[in-house]
Amino acid sequence: MLQPTRYRAVLGSPPARGSRQELDDLAILRWNQRSRTPAGILHSWLFLNRNLSLFNAAVGADLARTAPSLFAGLPAFLERAEARKDQLKDAAARPRPFANHGDLKPCLPLEMSWSYPSGHATWFATAALLLADLLPERRERLLPVGLQGGYVRAYCGLHYPSDVAAGQRLAEALSQELIASPQWRTFKQQLAGERRQLLSVPPAGLPLLMD
């Protein structure tokens, strides 16, 4: 499961230094830096840590309290995806954008690990796709939250946009393989009762997702 050759093909190579694609990446990062707002920066900080609770509003429930088995069990699948992402990131060895371009000033704490693919983009998109398989009724609400977890990394200058796009491509492939696994099928069957609880809409209805 999670064979490395397949994922290397999904990712491809990061844009070369000085290439047209890297120049496009930099143009976006510099525009983001010029146009950041206090509200946008605060929004980015919400996604600083990889936490399933950030999907609560999309589901319309407190995942930790309403679905403790899901909340405790899903990280094991995400850890498998994370391990594959780490191998690919080490192989690509792309420096962070601020490491090569001193004018870029990230609005989140600096991280000195490699940049391609974005780990946050991979984690959040994979989590959203796995949750969407468990709760297809909430799919259209979950997927945008998963994408936001990656977009904020380029908004705040910690990753090139191409790093984020690569992480989201990787998440698609990883989630497909995880969902096809017998372990996932067993896990999904065990959550039938919690799934019914999660689909119980709050009295005032589902909250509006602004992003």
Q: 20 falls in which pLDDT band (50, 70, 90)?
A: very high
Q: 1 falls in which pLDDT band (50, 70, 90)?
A: low
Q: 2 falls in which pLDDT band (50, 70, 90)?
A: low
Rounded Cα distance between 129 and 143, Å, is 7
Contacts for 142 with CB less than 8 Å, ≥ 6 apart: 55, 58, 59, 128, 131, 132, 135
pLDDT at 5 over 90: no
Domains of the chain: 39-198 (1.20.144.10)
pLDDT at 27 over 60: yes
Region of 118 please: left (phi>0), alpha (psi -120 to 50) or beta. Answer: beta
